[in-house]
Amino acid sequence: MQKIRNIAIIAHVDHGKTTLVDKILHSCSIFRDNESTGELILDNNDLERERGITIVSKNVSVQYKDVKINIIDTPGHADFGGEVERVLKMADGVLILCDAFEGAMPQTRFVTQKALALGLKPIVVVNKVDKENCRPEEVYEQIFELFFNLEATEEQLDFQVIYGSSKQGWMSTDWKTPTENIFPLMDAILENIPPAPIQEGTLQMQITSLDYSSFVGRIAIGRVARGTIKENMPVSLVKRDGKIVKSRIKELYTFEGLGKVKVASVSSGDICAVVGIDGFDIGDTIADFENPEQLEVISIDEPTMNMLFTINNSPFFGKEGKFVTSQRLRERLHKELEKNLALRLVETDSPDSYLVYGRGILHLSVLIETMRREGYEMQVGQPQVIVKIIDGVKCEPIETLIVDVPGEVSGKVIELVTQRKGELLIMEPKGDLQHLEFDIPARGIIGLRNNVLTATAGEAIMAHRFKAYEPWKGPIPGRSNGVLVSMDKGMTTAYAIDKLQDRGRFFIDPGVDIYEGQILGEHIRDNDLVINITKGKQLTNMRASGTDDNTRIAPAIKFSLEECMEYIQADEYIEVTPLSIRLRKIYLTEQERKVKGKSLVNQ
């Protein structure tokens, strides 16, 4: 039997998780000496590289001292908690990575809680000890306290701690004495993480992830919990609801380095990819053909937010996208449900619209961004939090919000958060920053990031995680300003924008095609204003000094997709196409808005 260790890496966004995996891959000589690999090898889709975050968990394996170590890179953001909860089922231990200055952040806490509850053995890595103002000892104490608060067992509290710098490529048991390599960490994994258990008996394997190949279709990935799985073996697929489907395994692969290797059989404890099973979902069990036994179904936290997805019906419909029909939109959302466990889809009264439930703004925006890059056109409505009635009381999701901010602007942040029904729990110094912790309704966080970054000149570091459902906190003020709405279709002119600059800030530049009902900017007052910025200058042959002023236009404000989602109100849509993101009113003409708009706002 090959010796195997299965380990998941947990960390908050930007604490150096994917960089550490790079160093492990290099130090275990997976690549040829002349092979060019680049950085962040595992963040292999464009969105992950652009945002610098891990969105989809991935498996790699390395050989170290004739032991096979399967490494599972997990997302660090709580919005992708659905990814984390299922892949932890494949691990026997976890590597908890913390920044030597920031310490255990909210998302680290979220995933650590799941890992400790599953009884996984932890190793703590305090990373970035080469940074200025780092505080490794304090961070170690903080993590011990975190484990204690999360009700870790005595065995879990007796964890090994390793200090080092992933970027510099060294790890050590003492942060003051750097080493030449990361082998102290690899040795700690072999010593502290229990070997993958070998269980004899009939086959049991839970599908915890999936892959897709254009040649063989969907590929099931999971860890063999009991028995041995073999090529060409007849099996039973036990669905989440207990229904049993007979099937046969065509091909088997195990993970080696960054790729997969075809094998004849896989024994319990190892992670493998299975080809040939149809109609499976994540959480299903591949079991013995004669006597199938189901493994415990993966439980996923409920979504906290929903958004309306609908087809694009603007005047610019179909100009930029390949997939524009409601059938295409429906097929794509159903396909996403297969692998995105934390997502839910609900049909609406309209055949063109669907309510998509997710874990937060980032979770939903990554789905929208992925779809627009694939060539889809659609419109999305304002994100709404999910309200529940618990014991006859109206309840809403409450989040724990953590803000690290320079002391001189902490007052502004507290004011902004308390306006949105936030409650200050902790205020303490952390290095040269002020550390603030709040409980705040999830709907209060929508649109808050922009305001906080503006008030603190971009110096605030914000993070939040779902806490619990609590009684409704009352009304929260929305956007304070109205918008500038186009009254005409055509091309914008610098002349018209210049003349209307005193009415507000514009989101678009001169020379852009617009349509009636499109949102062009933010009004300086709290009401909406209908304007015409397609008007050109009257050309005459009369010229006089002083009348031909040069136009001086302030730069247009450009919103990212998430900022748009946080900005819009109930009577507005975001039009998303492969090339453009536009804001618009649901009802395009002013007359329609007067008649129907009031009912939308009152809802």
Q: Domain of 488: which CATH number? A: 2.40.50.250
- Residue 183 sits in the same domain as residue 113: yes
Q: Give 235's contacts (C-beta < 8 A, 6+ positions apart).
A: 203, 229, 246, 247, 248, 249, 277, 286, 287, 288, 289
Whether 544 has a pLDDT exceeding 60, the answer reads no
Rounded Cα distance between 247 and 204, Å, is 14
Identify the weakest region by mean pLDDT among 5-14, 190-199, 429-438, 545-554. 545-554
For tokens 């309306």, name the residue.
308
Q: Cβ(97)–Cβ(8) under 8 Å?
A: no
At 42 the pLDDT is 43
Whether 68 has a pLDDT exceeding 80, the answer reads yes
Of residues 601 and 264, more confidently modeled: 264
For residue 82, being part of any structural domain is answered with: yes
For residue 338, being part of any structural domain is answered with: no
One-letter-per-residue 3-state SS of 354-420 = EEEEECCHHHHHHHHHHHHHCCECEEECCCEECCEEECCEEEEEEEEEEEEEEHHHHHHHHHHHHHC
Rounded Cα distance between 576 and 555, Å, is 22
For the chain, percent of residues with pLDDT exceeding 70: 87
- Residue 174 sits in the same domain as residue 266: no
Of residues 105 and 246, more confidently modeled: 246
Q: Rounded mean pLDDT of 556-562? A: 88
Rounded Cα distance between 547 and 536, Å, is 15
Report the number of distinct structural domains present in the chain.
4
At 549 the pLDDT is 56
Annotated binding site for GTP: 14-19, 127-130
At 423 the pLDDT is 92
One-letter identity of residue 140: Y
- Residue 187 sits in the same domain as residue 236: no
Annotated binding site: 14-19, 127-130
pTM, rounded to two decimals: 0.73
Whether 106 has a pLDDT exceeding 80, the answer reads no
Whether 214 has a pLDDT exceeding 80, the answer reads no
- Residue 280 sits in the same domain as residue 409: no
Rg (CA), the chain: 27
Domain boundary among 228, 254, 288: 288
Rounded Cα distance between 420 and 443, Å, is 9
Q: Rounded mean pLDDT of 452-458? A: 83
Of residues 546 and 475, more confidently modeled: 475
One-letter identity of residue 338: E
One-letter identity of residue 153: T
Whether 344 has a pLDDT exceeding 50, the answer reads yes
For residue 581, being part of any structural domain is answered with: yes
For residue 401, being part of any structural domain is answered with: yes
Q: How many residues does the chain have?
A: 603
Cβ neighbours around 115 below 10 Å, total: 24
Tokens representing 453? 């970054």
Nearest to residue 305, comparing CAs of 396, 419, 238, 402?
396
Which residues span the domain enclosing 20? 4-192
For residue 309, being part of any structural domain is answered with: no
List the CATH number of the domain containing 235: 2.40.30.10
For residue 577, being part of any structural domain is answered with: yes
- Residue 244 sits in the same domain as residue 95: no
Domain boundary among 471, 498, 520: 471
- Residue 396 sits in the same domain as residue 542: no
Buried b (16+ CB within 10 A) or exposed e, 22-46: bbbbebbebeeeeeeeeebbbbeee
For residue 320, being part of any structural domain is answered with: no
Domain boundary among 192, 213, 238: 192
Instruction: Write the pLDDT tens digit of every residue in 576-595.
Output: 999 999 999 999 898 888 88
- Mean pLDDT for the chain overall: 82
Whether 66 has a pLDDT exceeding 50, the answer reads yes
At 301 the pLDDT is 66
Give me the long-range contacts of 566-571 (CB less than 8 A, separation at least 24): 566/361, 566/383, 566/446, 566/447, 566/448, 566/449, 566/450, 567/447, 567/450, 567/479, 568/381, 568/382, 569/382, 569/478, 569/479, 569/601, 570/381, 570/382, 570/600, 570/601, 570/603, 571/597, 571/600, 571/601
H/E stretch holding 85 = helix 81-87
* Max CA pair span of the chain: 96
Most confident of 176-180, 536-540, 560-564: 560-564
For residue 325, being part of any structural domain is answered with: no
Of residues 453 and 53, more confidently modeled: 453
Q: Give 258's contacts (C-beta < 8 A, 6+ positions apart).
A: 25, 30, 41, 60
CA dihedral 185, 190, 195, 196 (to 10 degrees): 40
- Residue 452 sits in the same domain as residue 503: no
Instruction: Write the pLDDT tens digit of every residue in 20-58.
Output: 877 777 777 644 443 444 444 444 445 544 545 544 556
- Residue 81 sits in the same domain as residue 112: yes
At 217 the pLDDT is 78
- Residue 173 sits in the same domain as residue 283: no
